[in-house]
Structure 1
Amino acid sequence: MISIKVFFVTFLGETQTVTAHVHRTIHNFNLFPSDKKNDLEKERIGIIATRLYIFLTLVGLIILGFYTSFSKRGHTFTVEWPSLLQFEELHSMHSSTLNCPCSRFSMSYARIMSLSPRYHSICSSEYLEEHWLSYFGQVELDIESILLLSTDFRITGQSFFDLMRILCETSRETIENALRVFRSNRLVTMNALSRSQFNIETMTRMKQFEKRTITSFVDLIKLVRSSIQTNQLADEAWTNVEPSSQYNNETSKWSFRFRSRAFRTNSCSCAVSNQCTHPVGFYFQTDTSRSQPNITVPGLVLGCYTIDSLLLSTLECFYDKQCVKLVVDNYDFDVVGLVRPLNSHAVQIEPLRNENSRFYPNTTINEIFSQLFVEDWINSSNFTSYYTRCEPTQCTYTIGKHISLTYMLTMMLGFYGGLSAILEIVLPSIVKVILQQWPKRKKRIQLNNFNNITTDTIMDSSSKEPSHSSKNISEKLLSLNLFESERSSTEKRFLHKEIIATRIYIFLFILCLIAAIIYSGPFSNETKLTEKKSPTMNIVHDLHQKNISSLSCPCSKVAIPYSRFLSIKLDYHSICSSEYVSPLYSINLLKKNDSLSLALSTHYRVLRSLCQSSHRFIKNAEEVFGTRELISIETLTRSSFDFQIQAIKVCINIILK
């Protein structure tokens, strides 16, 4: 028991001794020892400088450690000659930073996309074949004994189906010609597009082609219709005009002229509108042109002209088997035994099929024709072919990673080395100056608070203090010694050499610092790459203003449609929006039925037609113009962009003139 107590007491004594030794060692730890062992003042300065050194070093290392642990560095990786599979994998993982420049910037549409139309069933049906058209041929046994009205289906049907066949063939030829031009166009891409971007790009271009092709052709047909109506040409079936005779009492002569036909069913005049209609069907031979058909063919109407009759009609009868039978069975209506038998193929003709059609049976032919008889467009794009043609030589992408432990330690060691070198030089001198100035400052404060000192004395001391202080500073600078040794304190010649060495050291240090600043400053020829991610318009403009010869701002999209940055607004002549070109004004003139009013009606009708044609032409031209693209690899300066716009405006003015 006694031995345990002795051991415990001994252990406590040794622990206290070790603790006291450690405390004394830490308290007196000095990284800046003096050459003079008994110089307590310098020892004190060294201990304080050591504590500041350790504190500042730890604070600096902690701050640097936190900064480097939370910061990320961009690591750029390069993949040479990436395959399609590699490209898609890279894009799925690094889409925001992936950059794969194409080795070939442009490629024809024929290489990368396919487009073909599927037409309406009427264009490939038996109704446009010769055996059905024989229904309307010269099939009378005795021409003298048959007198059918020109509005009878057996007469008007011939031109109806002939024109239908012509429009189908014309639509097909128009689309084929447009497709040849479309396939020769080129897609321009500076960087490889992703599969989704490629699909969007190709789909947009194909939709633009469909719309542009249809619009341009339909507008042409509208222009033809407008021209025919404006010139009031007489149809061979006299559906738009009717003869009129008038007796002149003064000359005792009859005058013969045509006048626009008025459709009694809806009080519509072909002189004003091309929407006038009359039902089509089968008539008795004794009927007149003002009679209603005895048997009506559903969906078919008679218009001012053959093209109006066709476009305003529907094909609903030819989708219905019973209606087709009605037409076939009434082939010899009111002329039984006076016509040859109908062709056997025509008798057995099948109705149209409505499967997989986007048009309803009661859809007007005008709506079907406005799509060039196209049911749908079969389109496809070949991304593999596009990528093969693009063939990027390399792909680069950037990954932001946390700084590695090795790099962090390297940075901290470098930081410690630089900070340590600076603190070893600066800290002892700073501490020495502070310790020397602190008692003086304390003494001045005490003197200022002492009430027995007169104002004059204070003024004198304050006036002398600056000169005394500046004198002390100059003396300290002249006697500055960074290489102080124990030997210099006894021999003045060593002290003088150390002061000279200090001055040379400071001079060389300042000289090297100036040289480093000049080398890395304005006189340096070193190329410095500065990159700005997603710069705004103002930043790009400011960079261009600086006239930097090596400035490069590549566009993310090389081809930009005009519609994105340019709009056109036209002011039409006031006549096109006046009441003179309204249909109502022409109708009122026609009602007057005098020569001047009829002439003015024709004049204003022509004006209305020209205004409408101009509107259609310009609207179509605007749509085509908006799909054209400005190709620019680099971002244009504002002046270059304005120059391009002015050139485009000149082209527009030339086209309009």
Structure 2
Amino acid sequence: MTYSNFITIQPYYHQVCSSDFVSSQWIQYSISNIKNSTYYFADYAINSQSQFQLLTMLCQQAQQIVDNGIETFLQTQYVSSQIDSQDLFQSKINLLITDWRSTILNRYLRPINIIRTISQGNLLMNFGLNNHFSVTNSTYTNTKIILNKYSNCSCALSSQCMQVMGIYKQISAARFQLILPIPNFFIGCSPVESLLKSTLEIFYNRSYMVEIDKYLLNSLGSSFNFSALNPKLSLPNETVEIIVNRLMIDSWSSNISFSSYYQACDPLSCTIEYIGKNNILDVVTSIIGIFGGLSVGLKLFFILILRSSEKIANNLSFVAMKTVIKNLFICYNQQQMITRLQIFFLTISLYCIFLYSTYTTQLITVEINKPTFSTYQTLSLNYSQSLQCFCSDISIPYKSFLAIKPRFHDLCSTQFVSQNWINYLYGEGNLVYRYSFTDFRASAVGQFQLLTSLCEISQETINTSLVQLLTSDYNDRQLLSEQRLDQLIQTQINEFQLITPNSLLNILNLIRETIGANMIVSVWSVNWLVATESIIRLAWTAHTIPIVYGKCNCGSSWTCTQSSQGMMVGCYPLESLLQTTLQCFYNQSCIDSTNKFTQLNISSLKTSQYRMNTTIQTILNNLMIEEYIINKSYENYFNQCAPSSCSYNYMKKYQVTEGIINIISLYSGLVILTGCLSVVLIKLCSYRSNRITIEITEQNT
């Protein structure tokens, strides 16, 4: 049955997602405040628009992902072979909802984090020149791109550099005075990073908002009619990142109806199990059946014994014994004939029944209730082909019997993903002017920032996906053998290795292609150069020229690369990194001739699935994984299954005891049946004999 039959889910979003601050009127108001041509770079007037556009996008994306997620989740089938108890049902559904919420949160955050990673590593130029500025000399023959700093924090080394926005007044051509700060609302290298670190506390204070409006000299020609956020509904000092990390949702409401679940299941029958004594009627019936057979049989047995004893006591001779035996087959009257025939039929019947019961091969089924693990092991060893056990619980969490630990490539745990290494590569800065764009060192900082982030994202993706896998349930009524359980686990791991990387790589490749197709300029100056003309032409002094690597032009392809000192350089640091092989990492002279940082241990290649000529792209396609270390406990699986019963079959050939029991049970009935049959046969024979005699007499007369 689908979850929609018994589950309802309702998210309650943060109030900002339904406030004026994500409305088109507020965005238009922010744009209308830009009037002058000269502003201080940290001025609220020119930076607030992009922040609120980002906030609007975050709210819209969250709502879209949640709505689609709820629709898909409620159409999922709940599989169960029997009605779960109310407590177990509530527990299972709550766990399913928790896992689902974790899944859609990851689906929301993963693209955001990848965009943040690529933007910083590739050092993409952004709106408002927040991470760089340009300087052209007085002769207009050279334009330099300079990386911004915020309080001695360089945008080349960190995306977290930022400072508080404010309202500034220009007091001279190059001097600005702060007249009104915007508390905890930041501007920095990246608008996304600045927004995430900001709080919305001033937007809970309408009087402060009106004060800002006065300084901005609102040109809408109307009074300030925007509402502030309500401090009773959420915490004013909460950062936007905290809100984003919970999917812009303050709380969830989920209603789980056990009665609706029961009605949707609509069970055909219910059974109960209890320990009780045998039914008195069954006991009486069994006693009567056995008593009847035993009484007649024992009576005949003792008569024969007594008569034989009497003859022996009277010194019966051998000739006399022969006469007695002969007299047994001589009938002097009809009753004796009936008795002799009945004994014959009875003897033949009992003999046939005994032979059939004793020597006929039978398939015997044995059932054992609630077997222990040791009992099951013994049965599995002796009756592996026919043994079947049925679990008490159809759903078994993988984590109860399975543990999976990933081992990542050495690159993700070495100095090459440390801040010390990145600082070492950056040195005194100004890499763009210290090295040519064909020199690996010009974009090395960006490449290793990306390597660090890709390792972190891969590890987070793997760990999150493993948690989801291990908290999911394996559904099967029948207990699997240890061999089949191993096959199941291997199948799950193979499927996990195919699906999990795609969830990350699809998003990563989409973002790469979007950035490349839009030809966004990198501040590292590795895809476009800024060229200036010696003569000013119609108010423009500079234009961009695509960089050429070999025969590949960054203006036509964003994947152009070429080799440089054992590494790669290209249109974007990310593309260069992905096409770089591992060779340089195992070569000390390539890494660092000063020996301050050491190469990777070449002996580690013996235990690695990758070779020295493997590219970073190939390793990333496996999410930087070397191998999965799997530990499983079949005993834990058995205990979670808790078989209610086990049954096995075997072929039984010789069953003397059962043959004797069948003879005793059927004896009394056969006595009656053979007696009736004997009477009928003798009567028929007598009747026909009399008819023949009469006919002969009539013919003679």
In the superposition, the TM-score normalised over structure 1's length comes to 0.63
Aligned residues of 2:12 and 2:250 also touching (Cα < 8 A): yes
Look up the match of 1:72. Answer: none
Of 143, 164, 169, the match for 2:55: 164
Distance in 1 between residues matched to 2:232 and 2:356, nearest whole Å: 81
1:211 positional shift: 0.8
1:313 positional shift: 0.7
Q: CA distance change for structure 1 residues 254 and 386 in 2, over 3 Å: closer, same or farther?
A: same
1:118-517 equivalences under 5 Å are 118-139=12-33, 143=36, 147-244=38-135, 255-264=142-151, 267-286=152-171, 293-319=178-204, 321=205, 324-333=206-215, 340=219, 343-344=222-223, 347-355=224-232, 357=234, 360-402=235-277, 483-485=308-310, 488-489=313-314, 491-492=316-317
Unaligned runs of 5+ in 2: 328-345, 502-620, 622-701
Corresponding pairs, count: 478
Q: 1:393 is paired with a residue of what secondary structure?
A: coil
Aligned residues of 2:391 and 2:477 also touching (Cα < 8 A): yes
Aligned residues of 2:120 and 2:446 also touching (Cα < 8 A): no
Once the two structures are overlaid, the 10-residue window that deviates more, 547-556 or 162-171, is 547-556
Distance in 2 between residues matched to 1:638 and 1:482, nearest whole Å: 66
Q: CA distance change for structure 1 residues 349 and 253 in 2, over 3 Å: closer, same or farther?
A: closer
Q: 1:280 is paired with a residue of what secondary structure?
A: strand
Distance in 2 between residues matched to 1:133 and 1:572, nearest whole Å: 45
1:39-118 equivalences under 5 Å are 107-118=1-12
> Is 1:523 paired with 2:398?
no
Aligned residues of 1:484 and 1:498 also touching (Cα < 8 A): no
Distance in 1 between residues matched to 2:324 and 2:194, nearest whole Å: 117
Distance in 2 between residues matched to 1:126 and 1:410, nearest whole Å: 86
Aligned residues of 2:203 and 2:209 also touching (Cα < 8 A): no
1:296 positional shift: 1.8
Aligned residues of 2:120 and 2:159 also touching (Cα < 8 A): yes
Distance in 2 between residues matched to 1:246 and 1:530, nearest whole Å: 96
Q: 1:215 is paired with a residue of what secondary structure?
A: helix
Distance in 2 between residues matched to 1:567 and 1:293, nearest whole Å: 58
Look up the match of 1:437. Answer: none
Aligned residues of 1:280 and 1:293 also touching (Cα < 8 A): no
Q: CA distance change for structure 1 residues 308 and 487 in 2, over 3 Å: closer, same or farther?
A: closer
1:281 positional shift: 1.7
1:374 positional shift: 1.0
Q: Give 2:207's aligned amino acid.
A: K
1:512 positional shift: 11
Could you list the per-position Cα deviations for residues 30-84 of structure 1 after superposition, in whole angstroms to 9, with x for gaps in the alignment? xxxxxxxxxxxxxxxxxxxxxxxxxxxxxxxxxxxxxxxxxxxxxxxxxxxxxxx
In the superposition, the TM-score normalised over structure 2's length comes to 0.59
Look up the match of 1:568. Answer: 404
Q: CA distance change for structure 1 residues 424 and 171 in 2, over 3 Å: closer, same or farther?
A: same
Q: Give 1:555's aligned amino acid.
A: C
Aligned residues of 2:40 and 2:176 also touching (Cα < 8 A): no
Q: CA RMSD in A?
A: 4.2
1:170 positional shift: 0.8
Q: Give 1:647's aligned amino acid.
A: T
1:227 positional shift: 0.8
> Is 1:556 paired with 2:386?
no
Q: Give 1:188's aligned amino acid.
A: V
Aligned residues of 1:481 and 1:499 also touching (Cα < 8 A): no
Of 418, 429, 452, the match for 1:608: 452
Aligned residues of 1:488 and 1:494 also touching (Cα < 8 A): no
Distance in 2 between residues matched to 1:179 and 1:278, nearest whole Å: 39
Distance in 1 between residues matched to 2:174 and 2:424, nearest whole Å: 26
Aligned residues of 1:279 and 1:293 also touching (Cα < 8 A): no
Distance in 1 between residues matched to 2:133 and 2:63, nearest whole Å: 36
Q: CA distance change for structure 1 residues 189 and 339 in 2, over 3 Å: closer, same or farther?
A: closer
Could you list the per-position Cα deviations for residues 190-227 of structure 1 after superposition, in whole angstroms to 9, with x for gaps in the alignment? 11112222222211111110011102221221011111
Q: CA distance change for structure 1 residues 487 and 173 in 2, over 3 Å: closer, same or farther?
A: closer
Q: 2:58 is paired with a residue of what secondary structure?
A: helix
Once the two structures are overlaid, the 10-residue window that deviates more, 255-264 or 347-356, is 347-356
1:332 positional shift: 3.8
Distance in 2 between residues matched to 1:366 and 1:485, nearest whole Å: 111
Distance in 1 between residues matched to 2:176 and 2:379, nearest whole Å: 81
Aligned residues of 1:488 and 1:495 also touching (Cα < 8 A): no
Look up the match of 2:520. Answer: none
Q: CA distance change for structure 1 residues 622 and 604 in 2, over 3 Å: closer, same or farther?
A: same
1:518 positional shift: 6.1
Higher strand share: 2
Aligned residues of 2:130 and 2:190 also touching (Cα < 8 A): yes
Larger radius of gyration: 1
Could you list the per-position Cα deviations for residues 253-295 of structure 1 after superposition, in whole angstroms to 9, with x for gaps in the alignment? 864322332211xx32222222222112211223899978432
Q: CA distance change for structure 1 residues 539 and 627 in 2, over 3 Å: closer, same or farther?
A: same
Q: CA distance change for structure 1 residues 518 and 654 in 2, over 3 Å: closer, same or farther?
A: farther
Q: CA distance change for structure 1 residues 557 and 259 in 2, over 3 Å: closer, same or farther?
A: farther
Aligned residues of 1:113 and 1:382 also touching (Cα < 8 A): yes
Q: Give 1:484's aligned amino acid.
A: S
Q: 1:190 is paired with a residue of what secondary structure?
A: coil
Distance in 2 between residues matched to 1:415 and 1:190, nearest whole Å: 42
Distance in 2 between residues matched to 1:242 and 1:292, nearest whole Å: 21
Q: Give 2:309's aligned amino acid.
A: E
